[in-house]
Amino acid sequence: MTMQLRITRPAFIEGIRALKATQGVQNYDVNTMATRQEMRSYVCGQCHVTYYFQPPNKRLTFPWAKGLKVEDIIAVEDQVKITEWTHPDSGAQLIKPRHPEFEMWNQGVHARSGVACADCHMPYMRQGGLKISDHQINSPLLKINRSCQTCHHFPEEELKARVEDIQDRFFNLRNTALDALVDLIYDIKAQKQKGATDAQLAQARDAQRKAQFMIDFVMSENSMGFHAPQEAMRILGDAVNLCRLGQLTLHGGPAPSHNPPNIENVAPSPGPAVAPGKQVRVRGSGVRG
């Protein structure tokens, strides 16, 4: 037994192998092929992820076989026909994301820059003559000098204000998206009460399934949009659009087509692309404490 980082959760081992296969890497073994810097995020990604229980044995599964973006995850769960609950008012069959911090972090600038979860949430500190990782794991905003200012050479007040500005904008668009979702649900319910058939409601219900997952995805991700600000806002904007298109189908409009533009803000791999043994020195992230 050593202190070397290692992955122990079967769902992550299988999920990262499936993800790497989509990138042309076959038979990926995370414990022998990942760099140390990648492992400093992978060990967190064993739990801070979304997942579902694969029937019939309810096997814990990470839905990464098509990628880590929210559309990829929805596509996987649609393909295996996952339904976790039925909305009591609209009748839509829904799926639920679970705290996908790892997936969202992968879409952001810090992941592309080689910054690991531990760099921000477990920054280095001195204890006597030793340099160790801080195991008081919490918001980087509670230790800006060690978490953020290592790379971002600006006053603490400015860095904190930047984070809060991102989170305030996210919060406002999140509320707009929730309003759109509630409007869609009420419209489906109203049409159902007027006698609309399941076939007539199918497109609107599918829009609700996807839009609700997308909104939940960025809400349950525990950074208020900071881990990947542009991606979070894109997802919320697409969710608003889906809700409005879903409403139109209830009144004879065309079926929503969810094919968002290919926005190049995605990390090229599910972890920092760092050569083995190389130490990345850039750091700096933050979530509201």
For the chain, percent of residues with pLDDT exceeding 90: 79
Distance of CA 12 to the CA centre of its chain: 15
Residue range 232-283, pLDDT digits in tens: 999 999 999 999 999 999 988 666 665 544 444 444 444 544 433 434 333 3
Higher pLDDT, 124 or 85: 85
Domain ranges in the chain are 10-249
What is the CATH code of the structural domain delimited by 10-249?
A: 1.20.140.10
User: pTM of the predicted model, to two decimals?
Assistant: 0.85
Q: Return d(Cα 216, Cα 13) in angstroms, integer.
A: 25
Buried b (16+ CB within 10 A) or exposed e, 87-104: beebbbbbbebebbbbbb
Q: What is the pLDDT of residues 123-166, one digit of tens each?
A: 888 888 888 888 888 899 999 999 999 999 999 999 999 999 99
